[in-house]
A and B are shown apart, each in its own frame.
Chain A
């Protein structure tokens, strides 16, 4: 009987566990940037109004720009159908349980995108925690926070706010009915991330939407499609 003696070995690795996601995200980013497409990763809790906001953005962009939407949800094609009803091409990713989108899911859709495109919005799975850890190849990351969710959320869910470029406060039309301090939300979010650009919006009244869309257009770095 030959009992093998095993040797113990320690191997220093120092490797980013999500490095493979970041690598795919970087590839997506360079492909989309080369085509001049502005890619926006839209994150929030379920029900904060991501799809309603994208519907309103579609109304405002469709005269001069071409946009497409990738929708992430655990189940159903519902959000993509809402976007298609606006005449905007939309792809639904159903994660079947995963609480966030990963870059490899987005990569699969890239070959199907229209050849001529200005804006790609990626609506992440509704969740204020997990999506923040996964880059998808976006240039801009927007986090939405609706007034009914409460004014204490930024400090409770810091990563979504520290990694975002824009904070879009939604459902501002409901503020008169809520115990909600909008200035507190802004202050706490800016303490977490002084670079956040803050927009106050309502998909019902239209408040703040033109300003938001103007910001996206200014970020596009090229003139409207003739």
Chain B
């Protein structure tokens, strides 16, 4: 359960971005959370609700887009979505795969109110 420390890192970025834009309020926050990020979206939501109180994001809505696992086979070039954690190319059987998506923990965008 390290979601609270992730939300603390998120708020450092949020407050910095809001400051750059001279925003009065943050009304929306959208995250991309990979299936293999090791983070539980529900726990992030709980931590966000707790953390936002008393900040300029007090009324902000949190949106989380869960990113499926996508791999690229370095041998046959196939790009495939994976719903299991078996890292074998479905086309050629190679284990020489590169993860293209699904490990990320990104702040995608924020919605602000400015004067």
**Residues of A with Cβ closer than 8 Å to B?**
4, 6-18, 20-21, 98-100, 102, 129-130, 132-134, 155, 158-159, 162, 191-194
Cross-chain contact of A129 among B38, B109, B110, B112 (Cβ < 8 A): B38
- Whether B87 and A193, one on each chain, are in contact in the complex, defined by CB atoms closer than 8 angstroms, is yes
Residues of chain B at the chain A interface (Cβ within 8 Å): 1-2, 5-6, 9-10, 12-13, 17, 21, 23-25, 27, 31, 36-39, 85-88, 95-96, 99, 104-115
Asked, given contacts A20-B9, A159-B36, whether A10 binds B109 with beta carbons under 8 Å apart, the answer is yes
Which chain A residue shows the least CB distance to B28?
A10
On whether the beta carbons of B107 and A14 are closer than 8 Å, the reply is yes
Q: Are B109 and A12 in contact (CB under 8 A)?
A: yes
Report chain B residues within 8 Å CB of A18.
Answer: 6, 9, 105
Given contacts A11-B110, A13-B109, A129-B2, 9 further A-B contacts (CB under 8 A): A8-B112, A12-B108, A14-B108, A15-B107, A17-B6, A18-B105, A133-B37, A133-B39, A192-B87
In the bound complex, what is the Cα–Cα distance between A24 and B100 (angstroms)? Answer: 24
Chain B positions within 8 Å of A11 at CB level = 17, 21, 109-112
Partner of A133, one of B2, B13, B113: B2
Question: CA separation between A159 and B102, bound complex, in Å?
Answer: 11
